[in-house]
Structure 1
Amino acid sequence: MRKYKVCVIVVSQLSYKMHATEEYYNKINQLILKILGLWPYQQSYFAGIQKVFFISILSTFILAQLLLFITTQYSTNLLLKIFSFVLPILFCTIKYCFFIIRADSVKQMLERNRDNWKLLKDKLEIGIIKKYSYFANLFTISLMCLCCSGLIIFIIIQFLPLIFDFVLPLNESRSYRLIVITEYFVNQEKYIYPILFHHIVAIIVAIIALCSTSSTFFTYLLQTCALFSIASYRIENAMKWNILAISSPTKEHLLYRKIVHAVIVHRRAIEFIKFFTSEFTILFAILIVVGVSSLSLSLFQFLQLITLMNNITHTMVLALLIGIHIIYMFDANYAGQIVTDHGMKLFKVTYNGMWYAAPLQIQKMLLFIMQEGMVDINIRCGGIFAASLEGFATFQYSNSLLKELKACRTYYI
């Protein structure tokens, strides 16, 4: 009875320690999601106000740009100039709204990950998942720093006339033009600072929403990769000489138990990937269309501006925007590539282990494990595109886009 109580105390302490560790490594994402009102366990009245406030800022910023089609004569340049900024903000708004609509799915994702932490059995396995969680935190911080740097550059470019008036003053003030053109049905020269404040706040909200949602996905995908590594570690640990050298009955029992534990973790990781792909397939499909369209229009207008060389400020902002597009697409595809590589890891570890020294029944079991490990595990975006570095390097639209850009360049020359 005393031993049973001691075991219960040890297990409860280990469970509490793992839960505290998980909370510690997810604290950054949790904090940012709470600021945006997207934390799925946050169902207070204040969280509802946060959601309405942030959606209002983003939607009014998009609407203010689209209203230009009413007050300004339509042209291709106007269309490009408006949609080169509308689509990136729309991209961030869609991700923000989807997290609100599918709050239950986000909650399930968090709970599944929390249940996966309970499968860990020793310090080495906890160390593996801590390492991946550390990389996820590093990614979140790096992404926030990168986006904040882009925001600072944007603000500096926007305030260049004021900076030059202060550093190199002229007899008259320099003309002040907004980078993002909008229509508020007021005198923009008179209300330039409130309008500019709305622009900057909307862009800050969009950046934070993009970073928080993306880092949340990346964090839990990395922790799923940690499960694949733990499964591989358990298989590798089972196929050691000190276990294979034990007498036959005891050896078979130990091997069965260790292999079953490895398979359970592996199956949990596969189930999480399937859940993740199925629950967010609509989101990924919409984001692919909006993201590719946004990058295409930005590249098209960027080449226009380079050819004409009449607006250096807008060219710099578009170059910054294109860089953010490419970095985001690379990160998304790199996350998919990491999942695929870790999915194959169990097969490689099992194949390279000393399976030949195991009993015949164990060898047959390992054969089924290797067959399961040979199946490619990938993140399918929208059910049509598998996220990978190969997919990033071979954009389907690249050839046609280049032809259009060359034609455009020839036309304007």
Structure 2
Amino acid sequence: MICIKTQYFNLNRILLLAIGLWPYHQSKFVRFQAFLFFSILTSFIIFQLTAFITTKCTPEFIIKVLSNIMVSTAYIIQYNSFWMNTHNLKCLLEQLQNVCNELKDKNEVAIFEEYGNISKYLTTISFAMCGAFNALFLPIWPQILGSDLHINVSQSRQTMQIVTEYFIDQEKYFYFILLHKNVVICIGATTLTGTGTMFIGYFIYICGVFRIASYRIERAMTTKIRENINIENQTMIYKDIIDAIEIHRKAIKFTDFISSTFSGSVSLLIIIGVVSLSLNIFGIFRNASLGDKESFLLNFLFVLVILICMFVGNYAGQEITNHNNHVYFAAYNSRWYIAPLHAQKLIFFILLRGGKSVNVNIGGLIVASLECFTNLTKTSMSYFTVMSSMQE
């Protein structure tokens, strides 16, 4: 029997356990861990906002601070959405396990394993990218390189491009401030990777469930139709089509459940993502003209991460729609017209449902798709153009 938690979600489990968000075994210590990490992420935004009190607020300074604050806010929203929906995530994982336990034959198991392996590979790649991101982004590296290469300490400290104000002696408590920033970056990157890959894993499994529904329809309308349609074969056709309708209904239910559960948080993330993308693109061109390589690299990394997250999320939503359409096409292209009358009536239910697209609907306004990704990118570029024209 397949255990999806250990076979395909094991790396997700490790990442979420590290930040206290794994939906199982929620002890008092884990709840305290989650509260502590959430407080650390929140405090970092506060210390960035306090920079406006002690520094002259020029347009360049405001854009620089806001571009960093937007990314930190996205971390908090993502963390909080998982923290508040621990029970729902656990229920969804158990329902997917129940679907796996009810698979009918080895071909269905093979389909489920294929999509499970895709989820595991994507999680592994994301984990590697998270490690590379931390290696490039952590502000501890200038200190290490500075000590090894005998670089002036004050010069090394100026390479930290995230502006904060702690209202303490920056030189005296420098390493405590550095520790705070490093911890925030590690928690944020782990949150983004762990929760993001968990979302994508759910979507991949839902695609697998849709694919199994297509397989059941194809099997019912090909194998059995070729044989003599006697009473026994008619009963098997009815049963296979009913099973296909049932698992198709479960896939739709899973999709609607995720959409409704995370609609609010994803809507906020989209707004923050669009604004942050505009600010960081503006920062790239601004810092390139000024020759500020460190700030340029920071903005470039933020833009890269935001675009990857936007694309992956919308691509997953597009795949949900495509796999649902495949169920409709499998029913439409089958030899339903020579099937028994009662089987034709069952197929009609699938065709009728296929007229309504299944998609990841966010707040009733946005549908996750490649078209949505294009529109969000265009919107960000429009905001960037406005900021550039105002700057000139």
TM-score, normalization: structure 2? 0.93
RMSD of aligned Cα (Å): 2.1
Q: In structure 2, do the counterparts of structure 1 residues 388 and 49 end up closer, same or farther at CA, with 3 Å as the change threshold?
A: same
Asked if residue 209 in structure 1 is aligned to residue 194 in structure 2, the reply is no
Asked if residue 133 in structure 1 is aligned to residue 133 in structure 2, the reply is no
2: CA distance between counterparts of 1:367 and 1:218?
Answer: 32
2: CA distance between counterparts of 1:170 and 1:287?
Answer: 40
TM-score, normalization: structure 1? 0.88
Tell me which of 226, 234, 237 is aligned to 2:219. 237
Kindly state the Cα deviation for residue 153 of structure 1 after the two structures are TM-superposed. 1.1
Kindly state the Cα deviation for residue 406 of structure 1 after the two structures are TM-superposed. 4.1
Asked if residue 324 in structure 1 is aligned to residue 287 in structure 2, the reply is no
2: CA distance between counterparts of 1:171 and 1:45?
Answer: 46
Q: In structure 2, do the counterparts of structure 1 residues 241 and 182 end up closer, same or farther at CA, with 3 Å as the change threshold?
A: closer
2: CA distance between counterparts of 1:104 and 1:285?
Answer: 21
Deviations 1:240-259 (A, max 9, x none): 24544223322221110110
Tell me which of 25, 41, 51 is aligned to 2:8. 25
2:137 alignment counterpart: 154
Kindly state the Cα deviation for residue 176 of structure 1 after the two structures are TM-superposed. 2.6
1:93 alignment counterpart: 76
1:266 alignment counterpart: 248
2:63 alignment counterpart: 80
Unaligned stretches of 5+ residues in structure 1:
1-16
Tell me which of 113, 116, 125 is aligned to 1:142. 125
Give the alignment of 1:2-401 within 5 angstroms: 17-18=1-2, 20-155=3-138, 159-160=141-142, 163=145, 166-167=148-149, 169=150, 174=155, 176-177=157-158, 178-309=160-291, 311-395=292-376, 397-398=379-380, 400-401=382-383
Kindly state the Cα deviation for residue 268 of structure 1 after the two structures are TM-superposed. 0.6
Kindly state the Cα deviation for residue 173 of structure 1 after the two structures are TM-superposed. 6.7
SS at match of 1:73: coil
Higher-Rg member (1/2): 1
2: CA distance between counterparts of 1:303 and 1:371?
Answer: 51
Read off the aligned partner of 1:377 and give its amino acid letter: V
Range moving further from structure 2, 23-32 or 317-326: 23-32
SS at match of 2:157: coil
Deviations 1:121-174 (A, max 9, x none): 11211111111111111111111211221221123x76447636744x579974
Q: 1:129–1:223: 8 Å Cα contact kept in structure 2?
A: yes
1: CA distance between counterparts of 2:272 and 2:353?
Answer: 35
SS at match of 2:24: coil
Equivalent pairs, count = 390
Q: 1:234–1:261: 8 Å Cα contact kept in structure 2?
A: yes
Q: In structure 2, do the counterparts of structure 1 residues 172 and 216 end up closer, same or farther at CA, with 3 Å as the change threshold?
A: closer
SS at match of 2:45: helix
2: CA distance between counterparts of 1:172 and 1:406?
Answer: 35
Q: 1:158–1:179: 8 Å Cα contact kept in structure 2?
A: no
Range moving further from structure 2, 357-366 or 337-346: 357-366
SS at match of 2:161: coil
2: CA distance between counterparts of 1:29 and 1:162?
Answer: 31
2: CA distance between counterparts of 1:171 and 1:223?
Answer: 52
Deviations 1:190-242 (A, max 9, x none): 32222112111110100101111111111111111111011111111112245
Kindly state the Cα deviation for residue 184 of structure 1 after the two structures are TM-superposed. 1.4
Kindly state the Cα deviation for residue 408 of structure 1 after the two structures are TM-superposed. 4.7
1: CA distance between counterparts of 2:151 and 2:177?
Answer: 25
Kindly state the Cα deviation for residue 335 of structure 1 after the two structures are TM-superposed. 0.6
1: CA distance between counterparts of 2:135 and 2:337?
Answer: 60
2: CA distance between counterparts of 1:176 and 1:51?
Answer: 31
